[in-house]
């Protein structure tokens, strides 16, 4: 059985905010942000919502795949910034796309979310329960930022990316034929979860004396950095080993777009030319669960992915969570 990604799409808010723009409203500079992160600008939502961007990215992925919404069996949205606690963002996407046959639910695995959702979709497909899945990573992170905390708010952006994954029954698993998913691994370390956190709503029932304090993303940047540069190369080497594919065979390493320094360090630890690590963080910032599918869609639209290319995808972030995959396009 071959499970192939047959279409991608993405959606970014219209409003672009540059580092220069931020330096006019807080004590920061293009020099500080660019040199430490590689980020030059990000898209921030005004009218757009997590659901509206998800629907647009989903529509584009369906168009790219050449299939109709009624053909989707499963919709999974990875997000930590859904517009509602209920209904889920995925249920909103189902309605927005008119995907009447699909079952829809969300996954929360922060910046690894798209990879966790992809793995979940693959498991459903592999078991034979469903044939076609729409997997989306979408975030409106700007609404959970403390805009008076320059150490976090300059890092993040808003957007959505989507991929259609399908069981291609008629295709054979011969080498060079694009064998789809070759290997996958995911992991979590809840013991260290609070190094990157955003507290939920407090209980304010009448029996409890609780003052209302809205909570926002807070992060120990250096601990997150150490986690990422140790965990990601090790995870990538494990999936390569499982897929029986060497580092040299990989055309592109599509990593979660947190920080250019993390990407450079992973490239160095794997002894791979950094040119093999495409980047979207310069114009998108860190879009958490949306960063991997947005980058993948950009690569697909530019014609960078050809049948038979082997690529690695890897997500890492809040939870703490991580996940990597090797796929043959």
Q: Which two tokens stand for residue 205?
A: 């029932």
Tell me which residues in 64-93 interact with ligand ACO (CB under 6 A).
none
Listed ranges 72-80, 97-105, 214-222, 299-307: which one lies at the site for ligand ACO (CB under 6 A): 214-222
Q: Is 28 in the site for ligand ACO (CB under 6 A)?
A: yes
* Least spacing, CB of residue 144 vs ligand ACO, in Å: 12
Residues 134-163 binding ligand ACO (CB under 6 A) are 150-151, 154-155
Question: Active site residue: 91, 153, 256, 259, which one?
Answer: 256
Q: Is 256 a catalytic residue?
A: yes
Site for ligand ACO in 274-313 (CB under 6 A): 286
Task: Give the chain as a 3 state SS string.
Answer: CEEEEEEEEEECCCCEEEHHHHHCCCCCCHHHHHHHHCCCEEECCCCCCHHHHHHHHHHHHHHHHCCCHHHCCEEEEECCCCCCCCCCHHHHHHHHHCCCCCEEEEECCHHHHHHHHHHHHHHHHHHCCCCEEEEEEEEEHHHHCCCCCHHHHCCECEEEEEEEEEEECCCCCCCCCCCEEEEEEEEECHHHHHHEECCCCCCCCCCCCCCCCCCCCEECHHHHHHHHHHHHHHHHHHHHHHHCCCHHHCCEEEECCCCHHHHHHHHHHHCCCHHHCCCCHHHHCECHHHHHHHHHHHHHHCCCCCCCCEEEEEEEECCCEEEEEEEEC
Contact code string over 177-196 relative to ligand ACO, x by CB under 6 A? -------------------x
What is the Cα–Cα distance from 232 to 265, expressed in whole angstroms? 10
The answer to whether residue 286 is catalytic is: yes
Q: Is 32 in the site for ligand ACO (CB under 6 A)?
A: yes
Report, in Å, the least distance between residue 31 CB and ligand ACO.
9
At closest approach, how far in Å is the CB of 58 from ligand ACO?
Answer: 23
Q: Binding ligand ACO by CB under 6 A: which of 87, 187, 193, 221?
A: 221
94 binds ligand ACO (CB under 6 A): no
Residues 257-276 that bind ligand ACO (CB under 6 A): 258-259, 261
Q: Which residues are within 8 A (CB) of 326 and not within 5 positions of it... i.e. 6 or more apart?
A: 181, 182, 183, 184, 239, 240, 242, 243, 245, 250, 310, 311, 312
Q: Which stretch binds ligand ACO (CB under 6 A): 48-56, 202-210, 219-227, 269-277?
A: 219-227
**Residue placing its CB nearer to ligand ACO in the complex, 96 or 187:** 187
Give me the catalytic one of 64, 91, 111, 284: 111
Residues numbered 104-123 forming contacts with ligand ACO, rule: CB under 6 A = 111
Choices 32-40, 96-104, 129-137, 174-182 (CB under 6 A): range interacting with ligand ACO: 32-40
198 noted as active-site residue: no
Indicate which residues carry an active-site annotation.
Answer: 111, 256, 286
Return residues touching ligand ACO (CB under 6 A).
Answer: 28, 32-33, 36-37, 111, 150-151, 154-155, 196, 219, 221-222, 224-225, 228, 258-259, 261, 286, 316-317
């Amino acid at each position: 059985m071959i499970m192939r990604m047959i279409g991608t799409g993405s959606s970014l808010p219209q409003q672009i905010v540059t580092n220069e723009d931020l330096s006019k409203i807080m004590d920061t500079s293009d020099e500080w942000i660019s040199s430490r992160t590689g980020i030059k600008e990000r898209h921030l939502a005004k009218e757009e919502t997590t659901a509206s961007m998800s629907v647009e990215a989903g529509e584009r992925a369906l168009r790219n795949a050449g299939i109709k919404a009624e053909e989707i069996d499963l919709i999974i949205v990875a997000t930590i910034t859904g517009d509602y606690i209920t209904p889920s963002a995925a249920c909103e996407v189902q309605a927005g796309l008119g995907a009447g046959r699909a079952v829809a639910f969300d996954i929360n695995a922060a910046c690894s979310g798209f990879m966790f959702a992809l793995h979940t979709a693959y498991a459903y497909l592999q078991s034979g329960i469903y044939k076609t899945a729409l997997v989306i990573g979408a975030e409106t992170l700007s609404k959970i930022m403390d805009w008076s905390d320059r150490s976090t708010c300059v890092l993040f952006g808003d957007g959505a990316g989507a991929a259609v994954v399908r069981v291609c029954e008629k295709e054979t698993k011969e080498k060079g034929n694009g064998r789809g998913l070759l290997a996958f691994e995911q992991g979590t370390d809840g013991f260290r979860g609070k190094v990157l956190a955003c507290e939920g709503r407090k209980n304010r029932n009448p029996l409890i004396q609780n003052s209302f304090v809205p909570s926002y993303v807070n992060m120990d940047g250096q601990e997150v950095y150490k986690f990422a540069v140790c965990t990601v190369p090790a995870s990538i080497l494990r999936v390569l080993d499982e897929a029986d594919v060497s580092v040299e065979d990989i055309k592109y390493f599509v990593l979660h777009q947190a920080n250019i320094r993390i990407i450079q360090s992973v490239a160095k630890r794997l002894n791979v030319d950094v040119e093999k690590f495409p980047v979207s963080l310069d114009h998108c910032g860190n879009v958490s669960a949306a960063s991997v599918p947005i980058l993948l869609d950009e690569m697909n639209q530019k014609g960078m992915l050809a049948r038979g290319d082997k690529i690695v995808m890897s997500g890492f972030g809040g939870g703490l969570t991580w996940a990597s995959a090797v796929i043959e396009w």
